[in-house]
Amino acid sequence: MRVDVLGVGFDNVTMVEAVDAAAELLRADGAHYVVTPNPEIVEVCREQPQAMAAVNGADLVLPDGVGVVKGAAMLGTPLKEKTPGIEFAGHLMERMASEGKSLYLLGAKPGVAEEAGRRLTARYPGLKLAGTHDGYFQDDGPVVEDIRRSGADCVFVCLGAPKQELWMAKNGAATGARLLCGLGGSLDVFAGRVERAPEFWSKHGLEWFYRLCKEPRRIGRMMKLPLFLVHVKQEKGRRK
Ligand code: UDP
């Protein structure tokens, strides 16, 4: 059963369980997709019913950060741990490499997915790069066709939220891939264009603050974080 945080149902799994579940989905027939919402995305879902449906329609809904885990605890329905998308992706690629599976990278500015692909295949020997495409296209059709032709087992869809969730819900099955994972800005990190917060910050639940200092233009989006906490408090009051 999923843990409800303001309408988004999160799977209550550890990182190991999440990766095992994803590996299982990679073996199962049909298309599946994984999403990793943070508080900001939960707030977007509350405002956009289509985004909410796309997120809750995923086969695996993982809490990207400490915010959602805190929210769930405040509501009296704790989640086991945070499972950040980028770390989940790392473990999944390790698993895919050992099984000789292929990965397609979709998203980010032109050139980024290719660079990420070069680095990832070097870091995870055995992982096959099925193809890449940047995230700034008008028509879904040719991109879906390119993925289908590539025969990729898995696709990392990195178009930002909620674009990537809507894209996976709509196009996932047509790509022919078994698993699609919505991973936001991960390709920029894999390509070495953006740094992840040093461990100190993430360990103390302050990764968002580190990112804000590095990219002050995110302030508008980040104002959703306090809003999320206010909404959790209100929901807690309602549940009493
Ligand atoms: N992006 C894209 N197509 C778009 C809009 C965004 O490929 O139409 C990419 C953007 O280049 C970046 C990622 O999506 O690589 C979103 O990054 P952001 O840091 O906003 O995502 P988050 O991880 O915070 O969801």
- How would you write the pLDDT of the chain (240 residues) with one tens digit per residue? 899 999 999 999 999 999 999 999 999 999 999 999 999 999 999 999 999 999 999 999 999 989 999 999 999 999 999 999 999 999 999 999 999 999 999 999 999 999 999 999 999 999 999 999 999 999 999 999 999 999 999 999 999 999 999 999 999 999 999 999 999 999 999 999 988 878 878 777 788 788 888 888 877 777 888 899 999 999 999 987
What is d(CA 55, CA 51) in angstroms, rounded to the nearest whole number?
6
Q: Residue 51: what pLDDT?
A: 98
Structure tokens belonging to residue 41: 């995305």
Burial degree of 145 (CB within 10 A; 0-12, 13-18, 19+): middle
Q: Which residues pair with 158 in a beta bridge?
A: 107
Q: Residue 130: what pLDDT?
A: 98
CA distances from 28 to 22, 32, 89 (A): 10, 9, 19
Q: Residue 154: what pLDDT?
A: 98
Instruction: Write out residues with Cβ below 6 Å of ligand 1.
Output: 107-109, 135-136, 158-161, 163, 184-185, 187-188
Q: Residue 11: what pLDDT?
A: 98
What is d(CA 44, CA 227) in angstroms, rounded to the nearest whole number?
11
Rounded to 5 degrees, what angle do the CA atoms 157, 49, 33 make? 30
Which of 115, 136, 156, 157 to mutate for ligand 1's pocket (most ligand atoms within 8 Å of CB)? 136
What is d(CA 13, CA 28) in angstroms, rounded to the nearest whole number?
19
Q: Residue 205: what pLDDT?
A: 76
Q: CB-based contacts of 29: which residues, under 8 Å, 6+ apart? A: 178
CA distances from 51 to 129, 139, 161 (A): 29, 20, 9
Q: Residue 225: what pLDDT?
A: 87
Protein residue with its CA nearest to atom 10 in ligand 1: 108
Counting atoms of ligand 1 from 1, which one is nearest the CA of 161?
25
Which of 105, 183, 188, 207 to mutate for ligand 1's pocket (most ligand atoms within 8 Å of CB)? 188
* Look-up of token digits 């999944």: 92
Q: Residue 223: what pLDDT?
A: 81
CA distances from 163 to 1, 99, 137, 144, 205 (A): 26, 30, 12, 15, 26
Structure tokens belonging to residue 15: 């990182």
CA of 234 to the centre of ligand 1 (A): 31
State the Cα torsion 227-231-236-239 to the nearest 10°.
-170
